Amino acid sequence: MKLVHISDIHLTAPGERMGGLNPHKRFAQALDDVRSEHSDAKRIIITGDLTHWGEPAAYATLVDALNDLPCPVRLLIGNHDDRAAFLAAFPDHPKDSAGFINHAETVDGTRLIYLDTTAPCTHAGHFCAARRDWLENELKDCTSARLFMHHNAMPLGLPAEDKIALVPEDRALLAKLLTTYRDRIEYIHFGHVHAPVHGTWCGIPFASVRSTGNQSFPDLSEQELLQGAPMAPSYAVILAQDTGTTIHEIPFTWDGPVFSTGTNWDDWAKPMAAE
Amino acid sequence: MKFIHLTDTHVVGDGTLYGQDPAARLRAAVASINAGHGDADFVVLTGDITHWGDAAAYARFSREIKALNMPVHLLVGNHDDCCLWCGFPRDTP
Contact B79 A268 (CB under 8 A): yes
Residue A83: CB partners within 8 Å, gap ≥ 6? A77, A99, A101, A116, A118
Q: State the average pLDDT for chain B.
A: 91
Q: Which residues of A touch chain B, with CB atoms under 8 Å apart?
A: 220, 257, 259, 268, 270
Check B18 against A270: CB less than 8 A apart. Answer: no
Q: Which residue of B has its CA nearest to A271?
A: B52
Predicted confidence at residue A237, as pLDDT, reads 98
* Residue closest to A211 by CA, chosen among A35, A36, A51: A51
**Which residue, among B52, B58, B80, would best test binding to A if mutated, counting the most A CBs under 10 Å from its CB?**
B52
Contact A220 B18 (CB under 8 A): no
| H, E, C per residue of chain A | CEEEEECCCCECCCCCCECCECHHHHHHHHHHHHHHHCCCCCEEEEECCCECCCCHHHHHHHHHHCCCCCCCEEEECCCCCCHHHHHHHCCCCCCCCCCCCCEEEEECCEEEEECCCCCCCCCCECCCHHHHHHHHHHHHCCCCEEEEECCCCCCCCCHHHHCCCECHHHHHHHHHHHHHCHHHEEEEEECCCCCCCEEEECCEEEEECCCCCCEECCCCCCCCCCCEECCCCCEEEEEEECCEEEEEEECCCCCCCCCCCCCCHHHHCCCCCCC
Asked if residue A70 has a cis previous peptide bond (ω within 30° of 0), the answer is: no
Amino acid making up residue A179: T
pLDDT band at B84 (very low <50, low <70, confident <90, very high): low
Query: Whole-angstrom Cα distance, residue A53 to residue A71?
Result: 27
Could you give the CA distance from residue A5 to residue A74 in angstroms, rounded to a whole number? 10
Q: Check CB contact under 8 Å for A270 and B79.
A: no
Question: Residue A275 corresponds to which amino acid?
Answer: E
Q: What is the pLDDT of residue A270?
A: 86
According to the model, what pLDDT value does residue A85 have? 98
Are A52 and A59 in contact, with CB atoms under 8 Å apart? Answer: no
Distance between CA atoms of A136 and A52, rounded to whole angstroms? 31
The tens place of each residue's pLDDT in chain A, 275 residues long, gives 999 999 999 999 999 999 999 999 999 999 999 999 999 999 999 999 999 999 999 999 999 999 999 999 999 999 999 999 999 999 999 999 999 999 999 999 999 999 999 999 999 999 999 999 999 999 999 999 999 999 999 999 999 999 999 999 999 999 999 999 999 999 999 999 999 999 999 999 999 999 999 999 999 999 999 999 999 999 999 999 999 999 999 999 999 999 999 999 999 888 876 55
Which residues in chain A are contacts of B84 at CB distance < 8 A?
A: none
d(CA B58, CA B64): 10
* Percentages (nearest 5) of helix, strand, coil residues in chain B: 35, 20, 50
What is the C-alpha end-to-end distance of chain A, expressed in Å? 52
Residues of chain B with C-beta less than 8 angstroms from the C-beta of A270:
51-52, 54
Whole-number percent of chain B with pLDDT over 90: 84
The CA-atom distances, in angstroms, between B27 and each of A77, A236, B23, B47, B64 are 42, 30, 6, 17, 6
Task: Give the mean pLDDT of B48-57.
Answer: 95
